[in-house]
Structure 1
């Protein structure tokens, strides 16, 4: 399923690989559902029950199921192949979202039923992102092209999560919020079917390689510790920033629209950083770059707490964004390199899980800190967590290199 490098490595060259555009765009249609579904579910449940508390509880249950079961869903893809695993997940997910949309279409829906449907839907989102990255890895032989593919994938995913709420907002002019939930169901079903219909995905089979030696399996698990740790630290930073920017605007009596603009600057910075990172032919290894990116994000986040006004905060937040997409892209690359046969989709899913879990933890922790500490201290504390994750991952990377060398010597001696 691999293809040779088609000339000079560039983003355009990635999309010129046979079937790359068809497969990638189909995956993006399905993944757009993840950009629309959260705000659509929150608004539809709020409208149906008239309670923000119920909406918050339903969203927490939905998010918890989505995050906690992500590695398990990815394991099914690795074990049974994309077509056999993704289609049932997508249909179950779309069906439950459709039921949720129908129940919440008009006010007065039972809260327990809404919660049950949300929990059920959260168990089945197909892991299109990790599967697409696994497809990139099998499709591209050139490591430089793979780096650009991951960069392009990361930036477009960022844009999907920015554009998703805008699409739902536009839809609300003509339809109730539940229509956004129905749209999310349609997107994931259509995108997944188109994705698995691509020849490079339809022909994929579960990895039938013989089990690796225990030393190699252990090395793969250790290799995942660094990208998962950094991804969690990045998640903490992003989750914390959402609330910190809101608190900053509230303390200085700015309007709510200011928060949207500052967070948009974060997304723009992340997109620019991701494109630049993917376009550079790095001479240093990914395991060396990753801790530096995490530390850069942590330090910039801490500095943002010193901003005297909105302009400086916006610029600083945009600078923080420059590290986000590169850190996540590099995490995915390392996870893919570390994954033993039959574990590639799961490796990417663990990075996804770490980001989401870190984001939830960051939001929860900052929500408590803001009520008791000065805002500058909250910025510094959030940055310190990400900085610590980066520093700890640097130590972990040295351990992986040492264990890899020892394992290789052991395998050679036993051959």
Structure 2
């Protein structure tokens, strides 16, 4: 059964973390998600260490990400029909075995086997991220604290994309790429095990209404959110290319990591502030404010290519990134038909991943024209994400009143 709400006039992060099961579920989920940020770096460096072409390493990393984007909604639907624990345990074991095999295979020597294993590892990625987001309304039943819970989730996500590549790179430098792949196997399987043994992971999914084959995609409001999140993914993917392009232009390799880190730091700070500051407006208007603020603060990046100003400007839009993600996932939970919350969250994650891949490819095509040309992609993508939401606000207004969740 849902847990009794804590008594607090303005629940914050400490109130959320003080709830039973929350610290263990959050920590296990974060650990299980580390391989998603480690694997692309580890695969690329593993191929290079074996003397293989960079193209093969990039292909393995891209296929891993694409397979994960496809697999998440499918596994999310299985969770909605059963429970999170068995799906997490099985998928974590499969992904761990695939990474372990990649660690001993020799990716450049056996490209076809490596491709199959990378696809398997991606497709079987445990749905712990959408699973936790679907459980938040039941872990934190009082609506005042749910905003802090989703903000905590979105802000802590930035730690994964900072720590994951760093851990993979350090292991590759200090040991070998095979060690990074082996660590991905151990961390992923260990995190999945930690989640699957928790009581909330064994809660039965809420009773499903009569849901068509399309599942949560029959919600027009959710489709609007998915379109906006796709453009947000394009923004994030192309921004990474912009960072690399600027680093090449100024012969400053540190820029390639510092710009995404600045955006992530801004997002972490923005998530913490959002969790503490009351936004006295309906959830749909919070989403519009966050999307509009993100787009407006991203625009100046198109007008400078100097390193120091670009780093400073990268921090500013990040302040709205975690609130934008937090509100989007709260609305996703409310817009999804009953019994499809996990799949809905998985679709949100999937379209962001697909958008990132598209943004990386599009910005990569423009890289030869310099940073100014590349910068147009993330700036326009952020504007389009906001424009999509502002165009049909009526599809979101119905989610301003939360639904009651039952165990």
Both structures adopt the same fold (TM-score exceeding 0.5):
yes
CA–CA distance in structure 2, aligned partners of residues 346 and 234 of structure 1: 19
Residues 271-299 of structure 1, C-alpha deviation per residue, up to 9 Å, x if partnerless? 11111122222111221222332233223
TM-fit CA distance, 1:65? 0.9
SS of the residue 2:333 aligns to: helix
SS of the residue 1:305 aligns to: helix
CA–CA distance in structure 2, aligned partners of residues 158 and 87 of structure 1: 25
CA gap of 1:396–1:118, structure 2 versus 1, over 3 A, is same
> RMSD over aligned Cα, in angstroms?
2.3
Show the counterpart of 1:316.
313
Show the counterpart of 2:322.
325
CA gap of 1:172–1:218, structure 2 versus 1, over 3 A, is closer
CA–CA distance in structure 1, aligned partners of residues 95 and 374 of structure 2: 38
Asked if the contact 1:301–1:379 (Cα under 8 Å) also holds between the matched residues in 2, the reply is no
Asked if the contact 2:238–2:360 (Cα under 8 Å) also holds between the matched residues in 1, the reply is yes
CA–CA distance in structure 2, aligned partners of residues 64 and 141 of structure 1: 34
Residues 73-128 of structure 1, C-alpha deviation per residue, up to 9 Å, x if partnerless? 11111112112222111111111111111103xx8621111111111222100111
Asked if the contact 2:42–2:172 (Cα under 8 Å) also holds between the matched residues in 1, the reply is no
TM-fit CA distance, 1:150? 0.9
Show the counterpart of 1:260.
257
Structure 2: runs of 5+ lacking an equivalent: 402-407
TM-score, normalised by the number of residues in structure 2 = 0.91
Residues 142-199 of structure 1, C-alpha deviation per residue, up to 9 Å, x if partnerless? 1121111111111111111101122222323442111111111111111111111111
CA–CA distance in structure 1, aligned partners of residues 4 and 186 of structure 2: 35
TM-fit CA distance, 1:242? 1.0
TM-fit CA distance, 1:49? 4.5
Show the counterpart of 1:92.
94
CA–CA distance in structure 2, aligned partners of residues 222 and 244 of structure 1: 33
Structure 1: runs of 5+ lacking an equivalent: 406-415
Show the counterpart of 1:50.
52
1:4-403 correspondence to structure 2 within 5 Å: 4-8=4-8, 9-104=11-106, 109-202=109-202, 204-211=203-210, 221-251=219-249, 253-307=250-304, 309-372=306-369, 375-401=371-397
Instruction: Name the count of aligned residue pairs.
Output: 397
SS of the residue 1:340 aligns to: coil
CA gap of 1:278–1:230, structure 2 versus 1, over 3 A, is farther
Asked if the contact 1:300–1:320 (Cα under 8 Å) also holds between the matched residues in 2, the reply is yes
CA gap of 1:34–1:195, structure 2 versus 1, over 3 A, is same
TM-fit CA distance, 1:2? 1.5
CA–CA distance in structure 1, aligned partners of residues 135 and 187 of structure 2: 20
CA gap of 1:57–1:183, structure 2 versus 1, over 3 A, is same
Residues 31-72 of structure 1, C-alpha deviation per residue, up to 9 Å, x if partnerless? 222232221122112223421111111122212111122211
TM-score, normalised by the number of residues in structure 1 = 0.89
| Bigger Rg, structure 1 or 2 | 1
